[in-house]
A and B are shown apart, each in its own frame.
Chain A
Amino acid sequence: MAFLRAFGHHLPNRVVDNEEMARIAGCEAEWIVNVSGIEQRRFADPAESVADLAFQAGRVCLDSAQLPPSAIGMIMVASGTSERRFPGPACAVARALGLENIPAIDVPVASAGGLFAIGMANQLAAQFGNVLVIGSEKMSSVVLQNPGDKNTSILFGDGAGACLVSPESGPMEVADVVLCSDGAFAEDLRLEFGESVTMNGRSVIMQASRKIPRAISEVLERNAVAPEDVICFLMHQANQNLIMKVAAALHVPGDRFYSNIARYGNTSSASMLIAASEWFGQHGDIVPGPVCFAAFGAGFHWGALLAIPSNPGGANG
């Protein structure tokens, strides 16, 4: 298994609070926070691309790892808001980092993209060396297509998160991964080119409320880790009420789940990585116990990943 060596994230400067979002969407600011827990989100400059955001997060991640871009053996960029069919943002990120002749691949998996990319990088790192995993989204470009669809437009924000997956060392080691997909629900959450997000919110909540706790329980049980022994759950930031629902299903306190959704909204593939970057930024390289990642999104794709401290007794791998 590989190691999670460092994280990084980048958020656009422009803050869109619920007062502004309510004017854009034609609803009440109080309603937004009540149904989602979101108080504000970030919108990128119209000229900024998914790759621009991704590059910034990747650069921060490499700075945190104290590694030059030349130490990267592979780049994976998850995004559901890539501006074109091909090439995706991964090649542009590689070029921006000055990298040639390494594989730079796109993972168009939206909300679960960051988790799926780390899960795959966990295997690929042994062959390619350090894998820079990035989740990057410019959801504002989608939201502003049809801002009057308040049930979806209020939810999303822009941002990018990154994780360096190393075959050799890092504060956390990947212990196990559960990744699942079920195309039976593909129509319930989708984004067609040139359109806004189509979401059957009831179906999404019903499925996510069951599938996320089940995936987390599976990865924990396989490794004999009790939910109460996990020091932090780093989950896709889709909805604060959903996060609390998952915590209740696992019988752990809600504050065991890191949450930044109030500040950034749902940044899709980037959200779990941004949360991880903030949490690891607060804790440094000494992580005192297991950490569990989890995500759910369009596809439906969902899963969970268990990471354990590389050396709980002291200095880290």
Chain B
Amino acid sequence: MSDQSKIIALIQQISKKSDVPDVQVSLFDSGWLDSFALTDLVSALEEEFAISIPDSDLSPRKFDSIVRIEQYISSRR
């Protein structure tokens, strides 16, 4: 499974939606995630990709879309 597929699966799990979000669209503005769900997503990303996301990286901009999340995950490897 690709990183993008894993990220989409996590977003679907946390948002409890089965649709597939547009990879470019803002997950906040499109209603997929709110601030609290984003916190859950960050924890899920840490577990799924076996990375540690420091507090200093917890900027909503970095996790605003699937593309941005994918870029961030790549940068942490």
Contact = CB atoms under 8 A, between A and B. Distances in A.
Interface string B36-77: 101100100000000000011011100000000000000000
A200 B36 CA distance: 13
Q: Is the interface of B mostly helix, strand, loop or mixed?
A: helix
Q: Is the interface of A mostly helix, strand, loop or mixed?
A: helix
Is the interface on chain A under 10, 10 to 19, 20 to 34, or 35 or more residues? 10 to 19
Contact of B55 (A204, A205, A207, A241): A207
B60 A245 contact: no
Interface residues of B, number: 11
Interface string A197-215: 0001111111101110000
Contact of A245 (B39, B42, B55, B58): B39
Nearest to A242: B36
Contacts of A203: 58-60
B36 A245 contact: yes
Nearest to A202: B60
Contacts of A242: 36
A16 to B, nearest CB: 25
B35 interface: yes
A209 B36 contact: yes
Minimum-distance CB pairs A-B, first 8: A205-B35, A202-B60, A209-B39, A206-B58, A202-B35, A206-B39, A241-B36, A245-B36
20 contacts: A184-B56, A200-B60, A201-B35, A202-B35, A202-B38, A203-B58, A203-B59, A203-B60, A205-B36, A206-B35, A206-B38, A206-B39, A206-B58, A207-B55, A207-B58, A209-B36, A209-B39, A210-B58, A241-B36, A245-B36
Interface of B: 28, 35-36, 38-39, 42, 55-56, 58-60
